[in-house]
Amino acid sequence: MNPLLEIEEVRTHFHTEKGIVKAVDGVSFTVHQGETVCIVGESGCGKSVTALSIMDLISGSGSVSGSMKLAGTELRTLSKGDMRRIRGNEMAMIFQEPMSSLNPVLTIGEQLMETIVNHTALSKKEVKKKALDLIELVGIGRGESILKSYPHQMSGGMLQRIMIAIALSCNPKMLIADEPTTALDVTIQAQILDLLRMLKEEQQMSMLLITHDLGVVAEVADYVVVMYAGKVIEKGKVEDIFESPKHPYTKGLLQAKPILGSRRQKLYTIPGQVPQLLDLPESCYFADRCEHCMDICTSKAPTLTKDGQNQHEVACWLYEEKEAVQ
Ligand SMILES: Nc1ncnc2c1ncn2[C@@H]1O[C@H](COP(=O)(O)OP(=O)(O)OP(=O)(O)O)[C@@H](O)[C@H]1O
């Protein structure tokens, strides 16, 4: 599989009154063509900021560094105009709250057709046909009446389908989805995930999916990136992460996942919280929550280390014994 999106040593820091918030700090991973990569981690780990950095949507006090390549093109050195074109044509993003991405005073048709007009050279008639085709593609019937509806007249699940239709209107190679099912109820969540999976196959897209839900990861991921406090602490193929997780944090996340049939047992929670990403000490950021914490963990940060020949990597001193002894 060829690499499509190559993220290398990306750092997104926010310069605030209280100091520098290192929301993303040296993140690297690759999404290959046709692959679904999931970024997982608790709230505040830097998942959304990673996605926004890739889309060049960090504003205000944020500064981004590192390398981000899409099909070999370095995105970081593109002009704003070229980046806007890439964002419209080759990469698209959907968010957790579809309502906040849609304009409440415009109809669905106006918003969907406007995106098609902006990204294609189709005639008025062809634009409408494409809008109706997209609505059908995302599994909504009554296309004509949907085009005339306003966002508030539709359910959350329908709106997320519309957002997916808008994202697909430019035939992106890469779809970035930030918690696309979190705001939906469970049955609708499953339908949206099925839709994304089907579209990925049919449209031969690659997908970067951000979620804190390991159930979702198990359903759709080929490859998993586990983030903690702005850093990648483990990454690997989905089967390696689920069958032989290495980092105590990944193990904790997996233990915290509800298992069917074990209703009587109290759900496991990882003690403590993700640290504030301000003025973090030189150490493993998970040290104070980790039951395996050793002396070195509180004085030196571990780096990602490969496990043999496969693509499984972990940043934990438990797996760097030789260095730990020195
Ligand atoms: N504009 C900003 N200024 C300062 N800090 C910010 C800004 N945007 C994000 N952050 C901080 O960056 C960190 C990472 O945020 P991010 O939204 O990426 O987390 P997340 O893992 O996606 O969590 P969630 O699942 O809750 O969205 C948080 O500590 C957040 O407070």
The predicted-structure confidence for 128-168, as pLDDT tens digits, reads as follows 999 999 998 888 888 899 999 999 999 888 898 899 999 98
Cβ-based neighbours of 119, under 8 Å, separated by 6 or more: 88, 89, 169, 170
Range from 6-10, 37-41, 155-159, 269-273 carrying the lowest mean pLDDT: 269-273
Containing H/E element for 195? helix 186-203
What are the E-state strand segments in 211-271? 223-228, 231-237
Average pLDDT over every residue of 205-224: 92
What are the E-state strand segments in the chain? 3-16, 19-32, 36-40, 62-70, 73-74, 91-94, 174-178, 206-210, 223-228, 231-237, 305-306, 313-314
The one-character DSSP state at 222 is S
Pocket test for ligand 1, best of 38, 47, 55, 231 (most atoms within 8 A of CB): 47
Average pLDDT over every residue of 60-82: 94
Quote the CA–CA distance of 68 and 24 in Å, as a whole number. Answer: 14
CB 283 within 8 A of CB 213: no
- Nearest ligand 1 atom to the CA of 230 is 14
| The pair of three-digit structure tokens given for residue 123, joined into one six-digit string | 């005639």
Quote the CA–CA distance of 95 and 97 in Å, as a whole number. Answer: 6
The one-character DSSP state at 288 is G
Closest C-alpha to 86, from 208, 173, 201 = 173
- Ligand 1 midpoint to CA 195 (Å): 28
SS3 127: helix
Instruction: Name the residue with the closest Cα to ligand 1, atom 14.
Output: 46
- Nearest ligand 1 atom to the CA of 16 is 4
Cβ-based neighbours of 191, under 8 Å, separated by 6 or more: 139, 157
Residue ranges around ligand 1 (CB below 6 Å): 14, 16, 21, 23, 41, 43-49, 60-62, 212, 277
Question: Is residue 43 classed exposed, middle or buried when 0-12, 13-18 and 19+ CB atoms within 10 A define those classes?
Answer: exposed
Instruction: Tell me the DSSP string of 31-81.
Output: EETT-EEEEE-STTSSHHHHHHHHTT---TTEEEEEEEEETTEESTTS-HH
Q: Residue 264: which pLDDT band, with cuts at 50, 70 and 90?
A: low
Instruction: Name the residue with the closest Cα to ligand 1, atom 29.
Output: 44
- Ligand 1 midpoint to CA 98 (Å): 19
Q: Residue 198: which pLDDT band, with cuts at 50, 70 and 90?
A: confident
Could you give the ipTM of this predicted complex? Answer: 0.96
Statement: residue 215 has pLDDT above 80 = yes
Q: What is the pTM of this model?
A: 0.90
Closest C-alpha to 220, from 192, 253, 248 = 192
Bridge partners of residue 313, in order along the sequence: 235, 306
- Ligand 1 midpoint to CA 110 (Å): 32
CB 304 within 8 A of CB 291: no
- Ligand 1 midpoint to CA 154 (Å): 29
Instruction: Name the residue with the closest Cα to ligand 1, atom 24.
Output: 43
